[in-house]
Amino acid sequence: MTSAARLGQGLTEPKSKLWIYAAAAFHIGCAIVLVPITSHPYDLAVLTSNAQAWLNWGFSPFYNWKFGSDLAALAFLAQAFRASLAALGVPGIVALHIAWKLPLIAADLLTAGTIFRLAMKLNPGRASTLSALWLVNPVVLWVSAGHGQVESLAILCTLAALDLGLDGRLFAAGVVTGLGIGLEYFPLAVLGSVLIWWRGGHLSGRRPFAKYVLGLLISVALCYLPLAYDPTARAALVGGLTSSSGLSAGSVNSGLAIWAWFDYRLEGIWPLLFLIGGIVALGFSLRLARRGPAVGITFLSVVLLMALLLDANTLPQFAPIAAAALWLLAMSVPVHPATLVMAPAAGLASYFFFLDSGTSTANAFFYDDWYATGVSLWHVPVSERAAVFLGHVFSLGLLAAFAYAVVGWVRPGKWSWAAAHALSGGLCAVLVIWALQPALWSSAFAAAPDTNLPDFDYAAASRSGTIDSIGPDVFRVTYSESLLEAARKASTRPAPALRLTLGDIYDRVGADRAMRVDEWPDRGLSLPNWTKLQSSVQFMWVRLWLGSHAWSPASQPDLSSLRLDLSGTSVTPARSTIVSAQEHGIGWALVDFRVPAGAVDSSGHLVLLPRPSSLLWNGSPSGPWIRVSPAAGNVRALVQAKIMNASYEVNPDGQGYLEGLPAEGNFVIDLSAVQLDSFRVDAAVLRWPDSPEAWKHDRSIQALGTCFCLLLLLATAFTLSRQLSSVAHLRSPAPRVPLEKPEGTT
């Protein structure tokens, strides 16, 4: 039996729950704007592509999967829901965004309800305030509705396990903790809180704690035993545990951890420091355990904050975990509301100024999925200095929260809380305003229902091996046994390939002189070294900068109406990319034509004439804007001392693959005879062929996705209403029950 009933004794009615409902409506409204068009494309591809690879080719969904089977199942259900949305005509990437993020938004709402229930037991005067502030928190909103990360699900499991434990439902608390561990590893810290409650007499006897442990073990077994018995998954799980435990510390050099203050010196010892700090915090909490259940809540908050401050791999998307830790701390001791808002927000904001170590800007969240449509967005500055400063604000803010809680000289007044709500809502509004740029929406909803994420190919359709340079243009290629085993078991077999980057054969990229396509006096070009190159090139990409008064992001070029005439050959374009929307009334686009090499004469001369003649062609005094690069062909390779012809295929951006390699786990390839200039080998992969993805049209999968959506919405609405209507239950009088002294205590 627990003392949860006594937690409700003498509770006062919380402030109006209308604030929670208003905050929930605000959160949902902001999410509706962010969900369809924003994400980190590569992160989203990594989280969702394993399920898609299994549906496409029967490839193991647990390859390179460090999470539990519960998250793998969620990824499959999201793909099913995506198929049902695409069947209704929703563009493919938008459908995936909605399908994947809907559970994350539901988790945000249910977390707010759980915060309300926990606060009613520990700090009832702040129950409505803390719950509403969670829903207007820009960190919570962005990571779920914008970035598309699963932290919200793990946070929900953590807080729900605490709430169930205080209600005396220890077996259910253990099960929920285990499900959270399948998503992220930090919910395991709830075990320490339950141990503290048991030691303090808030769980009488051994049975409640035993129930919790039993539920935890069963749940963790269900999440991870499928991976433990699968050789492919087992290797991935070991690697994932190694990286997440910090044994690979230093690979990120997190600007959010305290090591950023010391130029990252000695950051490799953080796992040891965290272990020592966790043991000290647990021992101190066990000594204070009889002071009430709030001790267990505070312990969990301290452990989470300590992990974020010490972990050398802390990423900005972990900011919601810091927020959850601060919210838990605020239920036990005074925490200034400015700290609740600003510290996590500063950590997340560092991403916007220095995304992917400065290789991307914040606009990557908004337009990477639509880059081919030429979206032009507001400028976002890139500043490493700003990111470092915000990282310092994050770590200093968390430390300040500790200090404020310990000292507790001044309790924040109602105006402090009102200002925190206003500041949070304002930051959410900034994200929404940014996402409301019309170019984003016109580009997003112009895509086809079967469109995949641009990073799907790199994340799923090609699985990396290792490649070592052992000489000039000589490489040793190796594929791991776990990858080969998974590939052998797949219903569709992949082929070995090398990922390539090829440079231009010819470029003349001067611009700012627009003329009708047939008015340029010289539309010809001569390809340098063509006699050397022509044996390796079967097709070329010819990219032109063309314009029309009818083109814009909302009115894309009709590729079927365009063509390129050259030396008796006429080809239609393969792709167009709007690069300037209605500049001086003209929409400019980079248009890519796949031209056969036979259109070039033996001397390398080529004359181009785009059609129709009403088009404009940008250029400079030296001639019209033209780029020519290889598209496909064959090269001579020496593989294991045997001569072979390998074929390559690259996209207009010069990225592609060299195929036709031997299906062996280890071989040496010599490419020194390749005649192409700027021929660079980037990686070795096993590559799956393009497929029609018939599963997207499977009615049973679509029906499963629809059922998943309906059940999720109904369960969320029902659970949230129960959470917010539970005040009467918590305040019901209950007889005081003498605590039974746990065995082994003094």
Q: Is the dihedral of CA 608, 614, 619, 621 positive or negative?
A: positive
Report how far residue 308's alpha carbon sits from residue 316's, in angstroms, rounded to the nearest whole number: 10
* Range 244-259 average pLDDT: 67
Vertex 41, ends 387 and 240: CA angle to 5°? Answer: 80
Task: Evaluate if residue 73 carries a pLDDT over 60.
Answer: yes
Give the number of other CB atoms < 10 A from CB of residue 628.
22
Cα separation, 685 vs 667, in Å, equals: 13
By the 8 A CB rule, do 78 and 54 touch? no
State residue 12's pLDDT score.
46
pTM over 0.85: yes
Q: Give the Cα separation of 676 and 87 in Å (integer).
A: 44
Pick from 402, 231, 183, 377: nearest CA to 301 = 402
Q: Which residue has the tokens 């998307």?
A: 317
When pLDDT is averaged across residues 370-398 and rounded to a whole number, the result is 86
Beta 513-516 vs 616-620: how paired, if at all? Answer: antiparallel
Contacts of 440 (CB under 8 A, 6+ apart): 37, 366, 367, 370, 375, 377
719 φ, ψ (degrees, to nearest 5): -65, -45
Cβ-contact 578, 551 below 8 angstroms: yes
Give the tens place of pLDDT for each residue, 424-473: 999 999 999 999 998 888 888 888 899 899 888 888 888 989 999 998 88
**CB-CB contact of 545 with 374 (8 Å):** no
Q: Around 695, how many Cα atoms within 13 Å sit in the side-chain half-sphere?
A: 18
DSSP codes joined into one string, 627-640: EEEEEEEEEEEEET
- pLDDT higher than threshold 80 for residue 412: no
Q: 3-class secondary structure for 50-112?
A: HHHHHHHHCCCCCCCCCCCHHHHHHHHHHHHHHHHHHHCCCCHHHHHHHHHHHHHHHHHHHHH
Q: How far apart are CA 416 and CA 413, in angstroms?
A: 5
How far apart CA 478 and CA 466 sit, in angstroms, is: 5
Do the strands 623-624 and 655-659 form a parallel or antiparallel pair, or are they unpaired? Answer: unpaired
What letter represents residue 154's amino acid?
A: A
Judged on CB neighbours under 10 Å (0-12, 13-18, 19+), 563 is: middle
Helical axes 699-724 vs 92-122, angle rounded to 10°: 20
Percent of the chain residues past pLDDT 70, beyond the cut: 91
Cβ(441)–Cβ(647) below 8 Å:
no
Q: Is 561 exposed, middle or buried (0-12, 13-18, 19+ CB in 10 A)?
A: exposed
To which residue do tokens 């500063």 refer?
346
Quote the radius of gyration of the chain (alpha carbons, Å): 29
Beta-carbon count within 10 A of 449 CB: 18
Q: What is the mean pLDDT of residues 326-331?
A: 94
Q: What is the mean pLDDT of residues 612-618?
A: 93
| pLDDT of 248 above 60 | no
Tell me the pLDDT band of 247, cut-offs 50, 70 and 90. Answer: low
Instruction: Kindly state the average pLDDT of the residues 96-113.
Output: 97
